[in-house]
Structure 1
Amino acid sequence: MTDVSESSQIFTATTPGYTDSKYIVSARCLLELFEKCPICKRPSEVTPCRRGTFLAVYQKCPHCGFYREWKSQPVIGSCPIINLQLSAAIYFTGTSFFQLQKVFKAMHLKSIGYTTFRRHARTYLEPAVIHKWHQFQEEELQFLSQRKVKIGGDMRADSPGHCAKYGSYSLINLENNNIIDTQLVQSNEVGGSHNMEKEGLKRSLELLESKGVAVDYIVTDRHPQIQKFLRDRNVKHFYDVWHLAKGLSKKLDKVSKEKDCDIVKRWRRGISNHVYWAATSSSTGAEKVAKWTSLINHIQNIHSHDNPAFPKCLHPVRRTRDPKKWFQPGTKALYKVEKILTSKRVLTDVEKLSSKYQTSTLEAFHSVILRFTPKTVVFPFIGMLCRLYLAAMHFNENAGRCQAKTNSGRLRYKLSFPKAKKGAATVKAVKTQPTYCYTLSLMHLLFEEVVPNPLPYLEECQQIPVPSSLSSQHERPPLKDAIAAHVSRFRVEEV
């Protein structure tokens, strides 16, 4: 009985209609209220009229002439308010319209159609999202223009490989984990998907420059185009440690499967950990390289080194109980590992590893983007851009969540089995539940400002340059001719 003991909400004439509570009501129960005339108590003529979630009931008494018209929700102009609010709730939370439609159909719950949803999106929802993001970004960049910022950047493509249509490049403020910009690039704008990452970073840096934001340094992956681009612009550039460790781990895994190289498998995790230690415990690039190259001696049970930047291992020297765990000089395994760890590119990259901030938070943001823009769904350019902005709003609101606690006040943890660990368990902190205050703010903007006067918001939306579709560069044949030319490889020709 806890559900029905909820206190009643008091409504006034000034209460906004979109903030009212909503209830699911059976049509049979609802129409029972209009069966009898409230004046003469005799049967009335009842005519229901539905439009999406909106229901109007026209009641007329043939005996005493009583007539009334009842509406299930307020109407703004010609738009029922809950129809628009349902579209907004679907769009702002990143929900799939078609998945929700399946739920509604299973319940025989009346709803709006997809055409109505898209009309709401074009006219009201997307202009509201774009304005809200620009408003946040303007305030954020104005604040950042008063100091030098440390940023991280990375790109996410909407599909793997070299056939991606969209690439979204995001910049994060590494000091507070706020997404400060996300740029959407379509592959035909830059001559192919392999150029999207550089173009996205270029647009982001131009935006920061136009707003007077000075960049202290940027942390990215080791993309060669990004390296050259930032070097030409004289921007201080560091590399994310995880990307280097991941690349080395893949190469070591491959070597460990070769004959007489089983020992490499035992050291793969330790080598990966050493990358992080060399980066985070060093203050200069030379010190990072010295600590990294000392690993070649360390895996041979040699703990004194010729490099004055790091002459001796910091761990206490212990007596070896298992001599087989060390690499032996002159062996194939040592040769292969040394070749990988001391290659020219690896040493150059180790020198530029980031000592403090990494881009792992951007990887978490990419997983949030997946919730708003699944890779199995095709979105138009503006729709994709708005969903990126919504993902950024959601991420910025929830990036600083605290760790959850039990009723007794103990911090909560859970076991996780990441794919990269290959069956090994790891412990993760359980965070508090996410909040969705940005959706309430968008609802307020939508109904209080955009709907009464949508023109300025539409104009702001129309200022965004939209590239032509990928198919626009090809000739579109008439459908009739295409059907006539269609031949199935499974069709059996008559003899």
Structure 2
Amino acid sequence: MGTMVIVNAECYSCGKMWKWESQPYFHRTPAGNVLLSASTLFAGGSWKKVERILGNLRVACISEQTFYGIQRTILQPVIEKKWVQDQQKVVQQLVAAATPLTLAGDGRADSPGHSAKYGVYTGLEVKINKIVDLELVQSNEVKSSYHMELEGFKRLQAFLASNGLDIGKLITDRHLQLAKYVRENSPTILHTYDVWHLAKSVQKKIHALAKQKSFEDLLVWERSITNHVYWVASSTKDEEGDPREAKWTSLVNHIQGIHEGHSELFPRCLHGDLQGERPKKWLKTGTIVTEKLDDEASEGHQEDVIWKTNFILGILSRRDQFAPKMRSYKYHGMLSRLHLAALHYNANSDRKQATTKKGEKRYAISKPKYKPGAASVKEPRIHSYVVELMADISEYESDASPLPRQPSPPPLTSSHVYPSREEIIQRHRSRFSLDQ
């Protein structure tokens, strides 16, 4: 019985028999089995690892088949009900505000490359720092896995429209297909790019360029160029397109040791005098390195409206916690884990910076070899949503009318015709000469 112990006893004197059970039942299932399965899933854990841990301790537990049965019949309906309730609270808050949304959107595939099975698109309202909706797309629902991000955005936009919500500003990565769709179909939306994605793109280009022959001197400037992207984003307002371009292109002059005469809008660098020995050598003017860098700086980043936000990183880390890449899940299993990630993010989105007993703000100091740094320490995470989910399990009635389950798309293998099991085995044995 997994975590449950049952003792059947008989009295030798009178022959009376009775049964003792170590725990009650939830929906005809031992409560310990349900709670162990719930604790594993709600923590974003893997049953195989939990089973291995308990097996090492020689502790009896349920089978993997039982775990997935409990997950399908009890846990997933409870998670979906909780997500819908919390999502509606967020939607009602936004409807009451009666202002266009500032939405940060991000898409993620469940595996790298072009062979992903799932793509999830998450929409977060920046002003309240809450996830409003997330849409799961399976690759056979669209033309190819590359199109999953755009399809996820379309579904998210449709969900918002059905609730009377409009997007005023959209913050995304540099997804060309999505950018074209927004430009042609929603011209009233101010489409901006998240600075983290933009800086990552710039860093990749500079790093690849610095590996080429004659461009080695650019490598020491890689971090400074990336930092310049963040500075341009934080020091310029959205509507200041021309000053943003001027600040961005001033980079080429700066790394040549030229700090004045950049342009009319940004005539000189804002730093003080840079005297004395420099750890990084200025690049020489008129070389192939500076010419190539000037071309890169003029190719398009200066026209991007960039938005400085750390929300995307938080969303990514929570999704990786509950639904790590390279792990295979069925459709509803993936969906429930993504909803858990959203519940966790929303429950902890308002955490403040932690303080000491004296009321001073706390910081964590890191000491890598290259450059020591400091980061603010947040208050401990809360898991109030798990307490509520556990309470919902005890109140859940399997015979009651559940929420309509979102239909899952057909399996990826449904469009393929496979030979019989016997034929596959025979091919394998013939290939490796096992029948000889």
Q: What TM-score results when the alignment is normalised by the length of structure 2? A: 0.91
1:417–1:130 Cα change, 3 Å? farther
Measured after TM superposition, the shift of residue 438 of structure 1 is: 0.8
Q: Which moved more, 1:103-112 or 1:249-258?
A: 249-258
Q: d(CA) in 2 for partners of 1:336 and 1:182?
A: 41
Q: d(CA) in 1 for partners of 2:422 and 2:105?
A: 48
Aligned to 1:21: none
The alignment status of 1:353 with 2:300, answered yes or no, reads no
Measured after TM superposition, the shift of residue 115 of structure 1 is: 2.2
Measured after TM superposition, the shift of residue 98 of structure 1 is: 1.5
- RMSD over aligned Cα atoms: 2.5
Matched to 1:223, the amino acid is: H
5+ long unaligned stretches in structure 2 = none
Aligned to 2:171: 219
Measured after TM superposition, the shift of residue 488 of structure 1 is: 6.9
The alignment status of 1:131 with 2:81, answered yes or no, reads yes
**Partner SS state of residue 118, structure 1:** helix
Aligned to 1:294: 250
Aligned to 1:367: 317
Q: How many percent of aligned residue pairs carry the same amino acid?
A: 38
Q: d(CA) in 2 for partners of 1:314 and 1:398?
A: 37
The alignment status of 1:447 with 2:389, answered yes or no, reads no
Q: Which moved more, 1:373-382 or 1:388-397?
A: 373-382
Measured after TM superposition, the shift of residue 323 of structure 1 is: 12
Q: Which moved more, 1:314-323 or 1:464-473?
A: 314-323
Instruction: Kindly report which structure 2 residues correspond to 1:188-337, keeping only aligned pairs within 5 A, or say none.
Output: 188-232=140-184, 233-234=186-187, 235-283=189-237, 284-305=240-261, 307-318=263-274, 325-337=281-293
Aligned to 1:456: 401
Aligned length, in residue pairs: 430
Aligned to 2:90: 140
Matched to 1:178, the amino acid is: K
Q: d(CA) in 2 for partners of 1:470 and 1:149?
A: 36
Q: d(CA) in 2 for partners of 1:272 and 1:246?
A: 8
The alignment status of 1:113 with 2:63, answered yes or no, reads yes
**Partner SS state of residue 181, structure 1:** strand
Judge conservation of contact 1:56–1:70 (CA < 8 Å) in 2. Answer: yes
Instruction: Kindly report which structure 2 residues correspond to 1:414-493, keeping only aligned pairs within 5 A, or say none.
Output: 414-416=364-366, 424-448=371-395, 450-451=396-397, 453-457=398-402, 459-461=403-405, 464-487=406-429, 491=433
Judge conservation of contact 1:124–1:454 (CA < 8 Å) in 2. Answer: no
**Partner SS state of residue 5, structure 2:** strand
The alignment status of 1:394 with 2:349, answered yes or no, reads no
1:225–1:59 Cα change, 3 Å? same
Measured after TM superposition, the shift of residue 446 of structure 1 is: 1.9
1:374-401: CA deviation from partner (whole Å, max 9, x where unpaired):
2232111011000000011112112333
1:97-140: CA deviation from partner (whole Å, max 9, x where unpaired):
12111122222222222222222222211111111111111111
5+ long unaligned stretches in structure 1 = 1-50
Measured after TM superposition, the shift of residue 196 of structure 1 is: 0.5
Aligned partner of 1:93 among 43, 65, 69: 43
Q: Which moved more, 1:67-76 or 1:329-338?
A: 67-76
Judge conservation of contact 2:74–2:393 (CA < 8 Å) in 1. Answer: yes
Q: d(CA) in 1 for partners of 2:355 and 2:204?
A: 37
Judge conservation of contact 1:230–1:236 (CA < 8 Å) in 2. Answer: no
Aligned to 2:118: 166
